[in-house]
Amino acid sequence: MSRLRRLNDSPATEDDKMTSTPRGLALLRDPRLNKSTAFTEAEREALGLVGLVPEGIDSEDTQVKRALLQLGQKPTDLEKYIFLSQLQDTDETLFYRLLMSDPAMFLPLVYTPTVGEACLQFGHIMRRPKGLYISINRKGHVRDVLRNWPERDIRFMVVTSGQRILGLGDLGANGMGIPIGKLALYTACAGVPPQVTLPVLIDCGTNNEALLRDPLYLGLRQTRPEISQLDEFVEEFITAVQTEFPNCCVQFEDWAGVDAVRLLARYRERICCFNDDIQGTAAVALAGILGALRITGGKLSEQTFLFLGAGSAGIGIANLLTETIALEGIPREKARARTWLFDVNGLLESSRKDLADFQKPYAHPHEPVKNFVDAIESIKPTAIIGVSTVAKAFNERVIKAMARINRRPIIFPYSNPTSHSECTAEEAYRWSEGRAVFASGSPFPPVRFGDRTLVPGQGNNVYIFPAIGMAVYATRAKLITDEMFIAAARAVAEQVTKAELDVGLIYPPQSEILKTELHAAQRVAEVIFARGLARVPKPSDIGAFIQSETYKPEYPALI
C-alpha cells in the first residue's frame, strides 16, 4: 500500500502519519507528497522542512499562477511538454491541478499532437525515468521486474511495444511517452487516482535503424524478434501481471497492427483488457458519427462508410459500427455491408488475395478499384474516415466528390499527428462550400467561412478511454466488452448541445472533459452492473458512486 493511501486511510492516528511520512529532503523529493511552497508552518516544523523551503507559504492557486507564468515563458510546445513532465516528477498534485484547471489548453501539450514530437526525441529529452521498462532480455524474470514497482494496488497499465507510435512508426523505447501521456489523461480527464496507474514499455528492440545508430537511444539495441518469441514473452508478462496485480486492467497501446489484433483476440475474454487503437478509436469514431447524424439526420443503419486505411484502427471502427447497427435490428451481414475499406492496394473487395483474416469480412463483391475518388463515385458513401496516416490524402477531388454526392458530407481525417492528417479543417470546409461535417484526430482552429465561424471537432480517444478506465476502476470490472464502448460513445454524443452542433462541433468541448467523462463512466458502469461483470455491489445511485471514487488534486494532510 502506498504512503499516500496510508495517509488517506482511516482511522489513522497522528503517530501513524508521522511514522509513515518521509522527512526533509526525502519528502521534497516524493512527488506524491511534496507540496513545495504550500507546506503549512506546522508541517515545516514537524517534518524537518524549515530552511529547505522559502519562508513564504503559497496557496494552491498561487502555485498554479506561478506554474502558468513559467510555462508561458517556454518558446515551443516541446519545451512546455518537458516543463510539465518535470512538474509531474516533483509535485504530482500541482501537475494534475494545473492540467484540470484548463484541460483544453493542456491536453494538446501532454498528449497529441505534442507527444508525437516528444516520442521522436524521447531519448534526448528524458530527465527522469517513469514507469517500467520490461526487456525481452529479462525473459523468465518478468515477475521480478514487476515486483520492483513500489505500489501494490495497480489497477491500470498502459502497455506499448513502441512499434507503431501514432503515425510515426517504430520508435522502440522512445514510445514510452505514449503510456505516460495516456495515464496522465486517465487522471486529468476522468479522475482515476494516479497511484493506481503504471506505464509499461515492452522492449523487444526496434527495426528503426536511425534509433539503433543514435548514441542517446535508451532502448534495447537489437532488431525485433519473431512473432512466436514476442507472443511467448507477452504471455509471461500477462501471467505475471495477473499474479502481482490481480485487479489490474491492461490497455494495449500502439502495437503493430497485426500484433494488436492478435493479442486482443487472445486476451480479451481471459483478462480485463482492451486495445485503445482498436476499440477506443472505434468508440470515438462512433461518437463522432452519432454526433454528425444529429446534424445530417437519418439513422446509423442508413449510412454508408468508406475508410481510407484498412489496418487495425479501421477494422476496429468498422466492427463497432457493425455491432451498433445490428442493435437497430439489422442482420449483422447487412450491417457489415454498410462499411467499405480502401488501402494502399485499392478497395477491399472479394477478388483480393492479399488480405489478412481480420480484413476479409469487409471484402464485399465489387469490381477492383485502385483510385479513392473512383471508389467514392461508385460506393457513394455518406462518410469517409481517414486512418491511413497519409497526409493530404483527402485532397480537393476527394472532398468535392463527397460534396457532390451528399448535402452534408461527413469528413473524418483521424490520422495523427497533425502532419499525417488526411486534410485540414480549412480544406474540408472550403472544398465542400462550408457543408462538411468535420472532425479530425488532431486539433484544428476554428475556420471563418463566409459569414459563419465553423468549429472543427477533434475525434480524440481521450473522450473514451479515461471513461472506460474510471468505470472499470470504480466497479473492478472483470472484463471489458464492446457494449461498454458503445455505451461510452453514445454518452459522449448525447452531451453535445444544439448551440455546439449549430457551429459544426460534434464532440463536447474539451474544457468540460471531466464532466463528459464522468457521465460516460456512469453509462459504462451501468452496463458493467447489468451484465454481472462488477466485483463490487451495485450502488443505489451509480452517478454518485462514480463521483465518490473520483480523484481530486488536493494535498494530503501530513500531520
Q: Summarize pLDDT for 98-146 with one digit per residue, the tens.
A: 999 999 999 999 998 899 999 999 999 999 999 999 999 999 999 999 9
Which of the listed CATH numbers 3.20.20.70, 1.20.1370.30, 1.20.120.1200, 2.60.120.20 matches domain 3-100?
A: 1.20.1370.30
Helix locations, 111-174, DSSP H? 114-120, 122-125, 142-147
* pLDDT for res 19: 58
pLDDT band for position 499 (cuts 50, 70, 90)? very high
* pLDDT, mean of residues 350-371: 96
* pLDDT for res 2: 40
Domain ranges within the chain, ordered by starting residue: 3-100, 101-271, 279-461
* pLDDT-above-90 percentage for the chain: 93
Domains 3-100 and 101-271 fall in the same CATH topology? no
* pLDDT for res 20: 79
Average pLDDT, the chain: 94
Given the residues 35, 182, 186, 551, select the one marked as catalytic: 182
186 is catalytic: no
* pLDDT, mean of residues 393-410: 98
C-alpha cell at 418: 497533425
pLDDT band for position 418 (cuts 50, 70, 90)? confident
- Fill in the amino acid letter for 69: L
Question: Is residue 445 packed enough to be buried (19+ CB in 10 Å), middle (13-18) or exposed (0-12)?
Answer: exposed
pLDDT at 485 over 90: yes
Given the residues 96, 111, 217, 551, select the one marked as catalytic: 111
Q: pLDDT tens-digit profile of 212-263?
A: 999 999 999 999 999 999 999 999 999 999 999 999 999 999 999 889 999 9
Q: pLDDT tens-digit profile of 14-31?
A: 455 555 789 999 999 999
* pLDDT for res 3: 42
- Looking up cell 522492449 gives 203
130 is catalytic: no
pLDDT band for position 6 (cuts 50, 70, 90)? very low
Task: With CA atoms as reference, report the closest residue to 320 among 341, 335, 342, 304.
Answer: 335
Which CATH architecture describes the domain 279-461? 3-Layer(aba) Sandwich (3.40)
* pLDDT for res 266: 97
* pLDDT for res 7: 36
pLDDT band for position 12 (cuts 50, 70, 90)? very low
In 10 A of CB 82, how many CB atoms?
A: 18
Which CATH architecture describes the domain 101-271? 3-Layer(aba) Sandwich (3.40)
* pLDDT, mean of residues 42-54: 97
Buried b (16+ CB within 10 A) or exposed e, 539-550: beebeebbeebb
pLDDT at 10 over 80: no
pLDDT at 352 over 90: yes
Question: Is residue 432 packed enough to be buried (19+ CB in 10 Å), middle (13-18) or exposed (0-12)?
Answer: buried
Dist CA 31 CA 51 (whole Å): 19
